[in-house]
Amino acid sequence: MAPHRQTILITGASSGLGAEMARQFAAKGHDLALCARRTDKLDALRAELAAHHPERRVEVRALDVTDDDQVFEVFRAFAADFGSIDRVVVNAGLGKGAALGTGRYDANRETAMTNFVAALAQSEAAMELFRARGRGHFVMVSSMSAMRGMPKSMTTYAATKAGAAHLAEGLRTELYGTDIKVSVIYPGYISSEMNDQVDPSKVRGMVSTEVGVRAMVDAIEKEKASACVPPLPWAPMSVVMRHAPLPVLKRLI
């Protein structure tokens, strides 16, 4: 059975999947270190959590994950606040993008810097804390799009999520057999602020934020090495996405 991870640091916690993870982890008895750029939303979330779970400790800090120095400062400050951080969830991400060569390098670069380079900085900062303690749980939130190269506006996003997953997988290989555990979470279509312009009725398999995050939290609490969430349809779909011939894949996506 996985150990109880008392204090959890979540990046990108002001809305969407991050905010819902905070709600569900608080309900399970965890203390929380929450960070994001929008401190007004963080403050509102902290007030909400205090009203529902007054016994839980929740600290918030402003963080732009693309500011390398700030990432290390905030992670270290949270560790000082609580005495230790038991689990870090690298969740902050960006969904911008355009087909390559269509004049939107700015959007693709911003996505790459946020979803991969900033994920590297968060990974460095988290592992600094865990190596010092000799234990911890590192969680990378990737995406089902990481299973295979994606077309058009998804090309850069999928590539960054694959890269982030490989960062975590490399750590898992290195740390196998130690008290530092590594999980990669591959969410499928989960309604969130990132995709609020998408009509859920037109996307097969899209679930609500609450339902999707419940599957994420369950996998994280069990400290699974990797998990496609929700498991149905995404666990079997991951096999199809990885191995289907290209003509078949193009009809699916």
Residues designated catalytic: 157
Helices marked H in the chain — which ranges? 16-27, 39-52, 68-82, 105-112, 118-133, 155-175, 209-221, 231-243, 246-252
DSSP 3-state of 79: helix
Q: Give the residue from 189, 177, 191, 183 showing the smallest Cα distance to 165.
A: 183
In order of 81, 121, 141, 248, the CA distances from 74 in angstroms are 10, 12, 19, 45
Q: Which amino acid is it at 118? A: A
Which is it for strands 58-62 and 31-36: parallel, antiparallel or unpaired?
parallel
**Which residues have CB under 8 Å from 131's CB, separation 6+?**
180
Q: Give the residue from 98, 95, 79 showing the smallest Cα distance to 87.
A: 79
| Contact between residue 77 and residue 34 where contact means Cβ atoms under 8 Å apart | no
DSSP 3-state of 36: strand
DSSP 3-state of 244: coil
